[in-house]
Every structure is written in C-alpha cells, then in structure tokens.
Structure 1
Amino acid sequence: MNTFGKTIRLFLVNGTTNGLTTAELSNWTGIGVKVPRIKIKEYGSRLEFQKPGVYILIGKGDNNEDAAYIGEAEIVVDRLIQQIANKDFWNEVIFFGSKDKYLNKASVKYLENRLHELALKAGRYSINQNIPTRSELSEAEQAELEEFLAHIKVLTSSLGHKIFEELEETIESKEIKNQLFYCRNGAGADSIGSPSTEGFIVFKDSLFIIQEQASLADGIRLERQKMINEGILKIVGAFYQLTKDYVFTSSSRAASATLARSASGPLEWKTAEGIQLKSLEL
C-alpha cells in the first residue's frame, strides 16, 4: 500500500505549549484540541468546545503508569466539566470534533468504541473502563468514520501520545522490517526483538537472566525492578519472562536487561542466521 506525506498544522493559541493547542490536517474537516485540565474553563467558551466530539483524558494511574479514559460528548465542554468533578487522575485532554456539522451522537459513539478498541490493542496506556457501546451505522458511514479515525490516530501521536499506535507499527526500516533478532547466551537467556523508531522492542515471552552482574548499569537495574513491580517481568522457572511487548530506548539497553550485565546491543542482537544487528544498521 502506498503511503503519502501529510501536512499537520499546530497552532499554540497563547504562544506556549502550556495552553491550548489545535491540530489540523490539510483537506480534513476535523480538528484536534489539546488542553491542560486547569485551562478547560478558561477556553471552554471557544467554538471547538461547543460541538460533539470524542475525547481522551490523559494522566497517571495508581502505579504511576500512563493512563487514559476515552469518552464522547454531544457538547464537549459540558462533559469535560463533569469529568473534572468525577475523575482525578488526568491532567490534560485531547479531543476531536468537526469544523462543520459532520459529527453527531451516533458517529462520536462509533469513534469512542473504536478508539477504546485501538487503545486496548496497542497496550501502551492503562484503560480502566467498560467497553463503550458501538453505534449501528451503514457500511458507507463506517468507512467514512474509519478515515476520520486514522486522522485522529496520527494527530494524537503528533500531540505527544502514541496511545493508539501498536509497537509493531514503529518497525519501519526497510532493511530490517520483518526481520527478527535474538539475544541469547549459554545460561539460557532467550529474547526476541526488533529495532523500532522508538528504540528497540523486546517481544512477549522473552526470557531474562535473573542474577544481575556487577557490570549492569544502575539505571537498567532500576528499570528491571520497575518492570517486576508492574508485572511486566514475572518469574518463570529460573528466569524472568516478559509478559508483554516492551520497548527499550536502545538495543544495548535491551540486551543488558536480557543478559543482566553490560552488553552491546548491535553485537548481541543477531538474526537467526547469526548476522549482527550492527551489520544491518550500517
């Protein structure tokens, strides 16, 4: 499938990133808005807030994990004021509406359900809510809203939150796409991963060495402990096992976490044929 460049227009209403930001795509009737929780009443009289839309409340969960709540509203500002009173975890909201009268109650209900589905599939944020009801729409209406949904996904990422983007989607290098890399040693470590635009993904069920060597950096020790605390690593037999896909900031960090010692990712990660990652990156 061919992909095409997109022009995104971001407008900082008060000239800083601490206020309201609008996001638009060329030739699209929709609009995205990001605003801090404490600024909602200040900007609530603007036209964008007075229309139907779908919104994402963004903050931190009880364990300091990224958390979000996805909802819809016939008048966005009214629902956001309710959420200020009812939900305390969030500190900013991103919402999407239409510059014309394209969106209605049925369409925002459909978008709410689909965004919830995408967020759960991506698994990046904690989504603690019931599954929203999906509206019954015609095939043509659904096709139009799926295009609207694709724009929401792009703009949400552009506004700093990849809540709807699966880790696999960040594997874009033509040289190494669809290529798996392995990090193994004689003690039984067995991780599978791939470079991505965010660093290096290690895939679910990979096995990490438990016993940490003195050469392991303190920062990686802390990251491993955090993964244990959050249930991302669990003890299975004589190893830690990864319970979900996890992205490290570099291949070396991923290798060190796997081997529990200082390690060079470009040398440790190899294809099934034994080709080092370093050879494919150069």
Structure 2
Amino acid sequence: MAGKNMNYFLMDGTPNGRIKCTLANWTGVAYKIPRIKLVDCKNIDYLKQSGVYFLFSKGDGDRPLVYVGQSGTRKNGEGILNRLKEHHASPKQGLEDWYEAVAFTTSNNIFGATEISWLENRFFSLAVNANRYEAKNGNEPNAGNVTEEKESELEEYVEYAKIVMGVLGHLVFEPLVQNRTPHNTECVETDDNLEFFMEQKMQNTGMTVKAKCKRSSEGYIVLRGSVINSKINEKTCSGVAKKAREKAKVDENYTLLEDVLFSSPSAASMFVTGASSNGYTAWKTAEGKTLKAVETSEAEEL
C-alpha cells in the first residue's frame, strides 16, 4: 500500500485532548473527542453536519466496547454534536460508560439520510467481523438502498476512514489476521507475514497438538483452527498462557475457534501446549526453519 499524508490538529494542544484529522485526497473530516471535552465542541461547524459516530468504552469483559451511530442535520442546524449531547445526557442510549467519541463527516456536507444509513451499517459490519471490540448496538443498523455508483463512492470513503480510525488509536475495523481468504481459515502468505507451525504429542494427555502462528505488528497470533492441549501443567505454564486458555473459545476437540494474540512467541507456544515451551524453537516454518533462525536471518539482512 502506498504511503498516506495525514494532517492532525491537536485542538487543545495536548495528545489526549480533542484531535481533528484530515487526509490528502479525501473529503472526509474526523474528530476524536474525549467525553469530558464534549462541552468545548459547540462551535465546531463540521460537527453540526450529518455523519457517523462511534462511542468507545473499556468495558468490564475481555474486549472493549463500541457503539456505532449516525445523525442527520436537524432543523435546529445541529447534527452529530446534538446526538453526542443526547448520549452524554442519557448514557443508557448507546454506551453508559463511554469515555471517547470519534465522529466522521465531510468537508462539503454531502451526506444525506441514505448515505449515513449505509455507512452506519457498513461500519457496524466491519467492527463485528474484525471481532476486536464488542459492538453494543441493540440491532444491526439498516443499510438502506444506494446505487452501485454511490456504493463505490462510499466504499472509498470507508477505506480512508478505516485508516484514520486506526491511527486515532482504535483498531476496531482491523482483524488480527490480515489477508485471510473469505470463508476459510487459511491466510494469504506474504514475505513479511510467514506462517509458523507446531506439532507435538503431549505426555500428560496423549494428544497431538497441531497449531499455526503468524507474526504481526502487534505480536504473535495463534490462528483459529489450531488444536491445543486439553490440560495444562499448573507448575510450568505461564500466567499469561493460563489466562488466555481460560478465555479461549474451543470446540469439543479443543480446536481453537478464534485467533488469539500474544506479546511473545513463548506465551503463544505455552498456550498451545499448556506447559513450559520456548516459542523461538517450537515454532517452525513449513521448511522446518525455527522462528529464532528466521529472525536471525532477518537481522543479518539489515
């Protein structure tokens, strides 16, 4: 992907305050607004337009929470901002404990009711499919009807908005594993995204674990479809791996039903085996090259 030129304005002069974001060759305008700063937004004209917004909460479970909403321009001349005010005054409309909002509109106020309904549905679907955040909308938003030409135009808007959202700190649209082919657990392998394997018979259960792992910019991902050990060794399995196993979704054969991210390869391999494991030697490419050997070779090429 080609580089992108992005413009950020720290509206309060601090990185944890309000941020306005625009992108070269994109008509969109985005705002990141801490809830406590909502009162300072009353004079922002762009927020009086139609658009789509997101409310974020840290939640109490395994994943953070997101609510996807939309707002058209009302007779009183207020759009997105007025809707955010309603969420602030009546927290049960959406997310009760939201701490931050991200709003998307355009520099030329071209979104009508049809466009924002389609965008709300599209963003909601992307968030659900990425499975990073728990989407807290009561029902799936209605997509409405748009022409093929308009859908193509809106998809382009969405692609830019996904980039902006990620840079603003929310990977709500980004699945852990990129380039996975639809309806398949297999991934499209690229030079910088090698797939690693582990196959080992476990003495404590007699099971043969078979797992796949990929590196990412965030760490090491054990891929869904991997078969993990049914038991753990309480003495040698790390706390991180134990906690991940408690939360992991598996079927009756201990086949992993979702991707799981770890900060180290050893935590990933211990998650699979349920016991002490050195991930740098346990994970190997299809050719039998260990992760340690791969990373050593990469370092030598620098």
TM-score, normalised via structure 2 length:
0.83
**Structure 1 contact 207–242 (Cα < 8 Å) conserved:** yes
- Relative to 1, partners in 2 of residues 1:235 and 1:168: Cα closer, same or farther, differing over 3 Å? closer
Correspondence for 2:87 among 72, 75, 83: 83
* Structure-2 residue corresponding to 1:5: 3
* Residue 173 of structure 1, CA deviation: 8.5
Match of residue 221 from structure 1:
242
CA displacement 1:124-167 (0-9 Å, x = unmatched): 11113211111311211111111100011000000011110122
Residue aligning to 2:110: 102
Q: Name the residue aligned to 2:233.
A: 212
Which shifted more, 89-98 or 243-252?
243-252
Partner amino acid, structure 1, of 2:281: L
Alignment of 1:111 onto 2:111: no
Q: Distance in 1 between matches of 2:190 and 2:286?
A: 18
Percent of aligned pairs with the same amino acid: 30
Note closer, same or farther for the CA distance 1:143–1:261 as it changes in structure 2 (3 Å cut): same
1:244 deviation in Å? Answer: 1.0
Q: Work out the CA distance in 2 between the residues paired with 1:147 and 1:224.
A: 39
1:185 is aligned, of 186, 197, 200, to: 200
Quick one: which of 121, 129, 133 aligns to 2:129? 121
SS at match of 2:285: coil
Q: CA deviation at 1:235?
A: 6.8
Structure 2 CA distance for aligned equivalents of residues 271 and 189 of structure 1: 16
Could you list the runs of 5+ residues in structure 1 that have no partner in the other structure? none
Larger mean CA deviation between 103-112 and 269-278 belongs to 269-278
Q: How many residues were matched structurally?
A: 272
Verify the 8 A CA contact 1:175 1:280 in the aligned structure 2.
no
Decide whether aligned partners of structure 1 residues 173 and 190 sit closer, same or farther in structure 2, where only a CA change above 3 A counts.
closer
RMSD: 2.2
1:104 to partner: Cα distance: 2.0
Q: Which residue of 2 aligns with 1:32?
A: 30
Are the counterparts in 2 of residues 172 and 197 from structure 1 also a CA contact under 8 Å?
Answer: no
Query: Which residue of 284, 291, 294 maps to 1:280?
Result: 294
SS in 1 for 2:197: strand
Equivalent of 1:236 in 241, 249, 252: 252
| Conserved 8 A contact 1:176-1:280 | no
Equivalent in the alignment of 1:56: 54
* Deviation for aligned residue 1:62: 4.4
| Residues 58 and 92 in structure 1, CA contact (< 8 A), matched pair in contact too | yes
Distance 1:201 1:103 in 2: 39
CA apart distance, 1:176 = 4.7
Structure 2 residue corresponding to 1:133, chosen from 134, 142, 157: 142
| Structure 2 partner of 1:175 | 191
Match of 1:270 in 2: 284
Name the residue aligned to 1:71: 69
The residue number in structure 1 matching 2:169 is 160
CA contact (8 A) 1:61 1:126 kept: no
Letter in 2 for 1:236: E
